[in-house]
Chains A and B, each alone.
Chain A
Amino acid sequence: MGEFKTGQKSSDGILRKNRKVRPGVDMTPLVDLAFLLLTFFMLTTTFNKPQVMEIKIPEKRDADSVQPKINEKHVLSLVLGGSNRIYWYIGLTEPSVQETDYSHEGLRMMLLEQNRVIDKMVVLIKPGEKSTYENLVNVLDELEITDIKRYALVEIEEEDKNILSKYAGGAEI
């Protein structure tokens, strides 16, 4: 590796001191190593920390506590079904069920439009057995994007099942 040049043999074979050549260490392997380490740490570093979505759920209720009542005309039910399908309807008395998907033109446009039409809209998210975690996160995200503050995560009740059973497209929940 490092070699020290202290002298030089001249053509006549006599060792003479050569003051012009200074002793030196070959730095190439050192630099190689430094850059190897550099590459390694650069590749293993992750700069962005994961993002989180904060969720606040209501406190558990006592059995005798009274739930606030709302006009059913202000309630948009969003039933999350299997195969990334969403069924939605307004109110509970003979509503017409419509289907949408998680795209911008689907869920987001629908939420924006209904939010404009319905005064004091409340969204009830009702995820079905066949829906996935991603479906829920997508809906919560769309509600955040469309700036709808009044929503709740609730269970699918018998009434909802009855409404969906009448849906012509066949509901997968």
Chain B
Amino acid sequence: MTPMVDMGFLLVAFFMIITQFAPPDPVQITVPASTAMAKLPEANLIYIMVSKEGIIYIKIDGKRNLKALGQVINSGWGLGLTADEIDAFSNLPGIGIPVFGLKEYLRLSDSERKGIIMTGIPAGKDHNELGDWISYARLSNPVASVVIKGDRLTPYPVIKQIMDTLKDIDVNTFSLITDTKSKTD
């Protein structure tokens, strides 16, 4: 039996090492399918997530990047966050609320936060926080690339708002996350 156990543990070790526990998304998103073959980069990503209701979230991968962003927005927007609140910020799965409520939101406990309904990051013409978020995220991590993860059923006007915002802040290259499909289906 020893060889079998050896084999078993070898496989366990293999799967343990290659498994990455992806942080949960702030919202359930079903992405559209395409035949695009390019792969998503491993790290340094700024996700703009859009739910099918058109609610916009920001997600930054990596706790360290998120913490750096926390410090940048704290001074950029003058939020007056404490070190604890920046810590809480670095643990968020995603941000989907306007900036004025952010300090309040970070003071809540994890379970209380679950009860808050996300209203999304404003990206309209007259009140746009999305552009600032992306600019700050790129300031805190200059090598980060922008990816859009939108739901299949997101209404086009929301996507247009996002693209216009990106154009305004001179982010002219970005990627859309899609599922795979073959050319024949």
Q: Is the beta-carbon distance between A137 and B32 smaller than 8 angstroms?
A: yes
Contact A51 B179 (CB under 8 A): yes
- Known: A52-B178, A60-B168. Is A129-B32 also a contact (CB below 8 A)? no
Number of interface residues of A (CB under 8 A): 43
B175 near A55 (CB under 8 angstroms)? yes
Asked if A133 and B154 sit within 8 Å, CB to CB, the answer is yes
- Which of these binds chain B: A40-48, A68-76, A163-171? A40-48
Cβ–Cβ contact B177 & A133, under 8 A: no
Given contacts A52-B147, A133-B150, contact A30 B5 (CB under 8 A): yes
Whether a CB of chain A sits under 8 angstroms from the CB of B75 is no
Once bound together, how far apart are the Cα atoms of A52 and B32, in whole Å? 11
The answer to whether B19 and A41 touch across the interface, beta carbons within 8 angstroms, is yes
Residues of B within 8 A of A144 (CB): 34-36
Query: What total count of A-B pairs have CB within 8 Å?
Result: 138
Q: Mark A134-173, 1 if CB is under 8 A from B, else 0.
A: 1111101100110000000100000000000000000000
Write the B1-44 contact mask toward A (1 if CB under 8 angstroms, else 0).
10011001101100110110100000000011111111110000
Tell me if B82 counts as interface (CB < 8 A to partner A): no
- Give min CB distance, B110 to chain A, whole Å: 22
A53 touches B178 (CB 8 A): yes
Q: In the bound complex, what is the Cα–Cα distance between A42 and B9 (angstroms)? A: 13
Task: Please tell me which one of the listed residues B15, B50, B156, B172 contacts residue A127 in the complex, with CB atoms under 8 A apart.
Answer: B156
* Segment with Cβ contacts to A, from B56-64, B87-95, B114-122, B157-165: B157-165
Provided the pairs A49-B39, A80-B156 are in contact, do residues A59 and B170 lie with their beta carbons within 8 angstroms? yes
| A31 to B3 Cα, complex, angstroms | 11
| CB nearest neighbor in B for A48 | B180
Residues of A contacting B170 in the complex (Cβ-Cβ under 8 angstroms): 59-60
Rounded to whole Å, the gap between the CB of A96 and the closest CB of chain B is 25
Cα A153 to Cα B159 with chains together (Å): 12
- The 8 Å CB contact of B5, one of A27, A55, A128, A133, is A27
Are B159 and A133 closer than 8 Å at their CB atoms? yes
Q: Contacting A57 at CB < 8 Å: which of B32, B33, B167?
A: B167
Task: Check A131 for interface membership: any CB of B closer than 8 A.
Answer: yes
User: Chain B: residues with CB nearer than 8 A to chain A?
Assistant: 1, 4-5, 8-9, 11-12, 15-16, 18-19, 21, 31-40, 50, 147, 150-160, 163, 166-168, 170, 172-180, 183-184
